[in-house]
Structure 1
């Protein structure tokens, strides 16, 4: 990945390895053409052009000036901007689930797949492991791929994937937004593992201690901010329910994030 000039403008370039020799790289490259080509949404990184006639294929995307979500960990965003980012993420995933006749599972929602343009507008990126749910089906069962710490524990065991798996990953990401911590650091901070994160979060919320790990700049400067953060923490908690049936849908998340 990197930034280059193309036709007198800056672009974001994704280069692949020898995808003819590696099946995973082949499907990763294909997914990053097929899905972005069909998605016309302001918070999904736009594919401009692809070059597949060479040994190492290149995909050209719109320019993203400010890097990934992870790169913003030291950025002094105010609370309203962090909440805007959370809403952009939620709306983007809801669009994938509801915008087509067959839901698209992103399958790897994490901070390295969220990029920012010059206006700090969030862009969802990297459809390498994404899939459509087949027509007439409610789930897929062809294996779990995703970032460690962001995949629902039961899915790791069963291989059963549906839209609620993206909801779980969003819950992890929402905790990252609220705490400024990566998932792996958040587990360490709360002295728990992936399987007990939800329980530890519940303890923090019920004991009104969640603000001990919230580090967003400017919290408390406006009336109602702490209550809003508490509500978002509870929403993240619901997204991390062990049972997929107990998690909200992404449209419910959107309706409860504002």
Structure 2
């Protein structure tokens, strides 16, 4: 019996060592490729036994999943943690996880990123260890029938996510494009702070280049039509997805999946209401009442105009994320400086008629 146990122990040890070497070399290669010549590894490596013990054998899961990964709660070194564990047979999973670890490790200091404190490379698919926070997905807060997310919170969330996307686009030697911005990639912590997580689909633009061609990935409804049709990724790819996210925050409606990858059904509905001068039909009924008076109405109208500019059919006419973030800060902090309601509404009607006249005739 002891001999059998020793053989099993040696077999498990060899297996974990094989995973560690394979995943470790892949992570190092990813870090060098994406962040060379400068990168840092501010996160720890935990062995498989530590993670299994900390999560009590992955006993308690949360409904925060993406791809084939599930999130579990646990305690490690007397501190609460979240552990993302992956399973499946798709060979591309490892590549996505390694990309997630590499980019998240360089972003963990950012207040609007779910803090990655470590990883375990000893599983077939690396496990990710996050700092614990009481989490709710933005999608659950925003779309639940009994949820009432106030307007000021929605505006703050938009600012939070804009800040982290700007960081991705500007803080490194080449811009990093997130490619899959949507409410299920945003966690709201117990303090109401929005945190982006899951960097699996990120891609870096080549040095000195403003675009790169790659396989199309992301979520239908949030996917930039220009990227969907060409496979060309630019900074404006994220701007489009962020614009759809702004519309979801304003309307409280989901961007439903559709077989037509060239258009968002949510945007379709918004344009229809603008054409009929039905601005009240656009805003989520839960935040329709102008508790903040005239200034809050002006904020919502300016917010709508910014969202429309982000999803402009002409990619070159969309603003860059750094300009989007500046405009959002202005909307939040200086609503008295915004254009009068009627002026802004006329601007939106004119803009949508020029950009989407073909849609309004349908």
TM-score (norm 2): 0.65
Residue-by-residue CA offset, 1:180-215 (whole Å, 9 max, x unaligned): 111118x8xxxxx82575465344335432321312
- Identify the residue that residue 240 of structure 1 maps to in structure 2: 311
* Equivalent in the alignment of 2:207: 135
Deviation at 1:8, TM superposition (A): 2.0
Structure 1 stretches lacking a partner, 5+ long? 188-192
Q: In the aligned structure 2, how far is the partner of 1:181 from the partner of 1:11?
A: 32
Map residues 21-170 of structure 1 onto 2, 5 A cutoff.
Answer: 22-39=90-107, 40-73=109-142, 74=144, 75-170=147-242
Higher helix proportion: 2
d(CA) in 2 for partners of 1:230, 1:118: 29
CA distance in 1, matches of 2:113, 2:97: 17
Q: Supply the distance in 1 between the matched residues of 2:150 and 2:139 (Cα, whole angstroms).
A: 16
CA contact (8 A) 1:94 1:251 kept: yes
Query: In terms of mean alpha carbon deviation, does 196-205 or 243-252 score higher?
Result: 196-205
Structure 1 residue 257 and structure 2 residue 339: aligned? no
Counterparts of 1:254 and 1:27, CA distance in 2? 31
CA distance in 2, matches of 1:235, 1:207: 20
Answer yes or no: is the 8 Å Cα contact 1:114–1:125 preserved in 2: yes
User: Who wins on radius of gyration, i.e. which is larger?
Assistant: 2
Which consecutive aligned stretches of 4+ in structure 1 deviate over 4 angstroms post-superposition? 195-200
TM-score between the two structures when normalised by the length of structure 1 = 0.90
Aligned to 1:11: 81
Partner of 1:190: none
1:198–1:241 contact (8 Å) kept in structure 2: no
Is residue 180–residue 201 contact of structure 2 (8 Å, CA) maintained in 1?
A: yes
Higher RCO (CA-CA < 8 Å; seq separation 6+): 1
Aligned length: 250
- Give the Å deviation of 1:89: 1.0
1:77–1:197 distance in 2 versus 1, CA, 3 Å:
closer
**Residue 214 of structure 1: aligned partner:** 283
**CA–CA separation in structure 2 for the residues paired with 1:169 and 1:76:** 23
- Where structure 2 has 5 or more consecutive residues not aligned to the other structure, the ranges are 1-70, 330-362
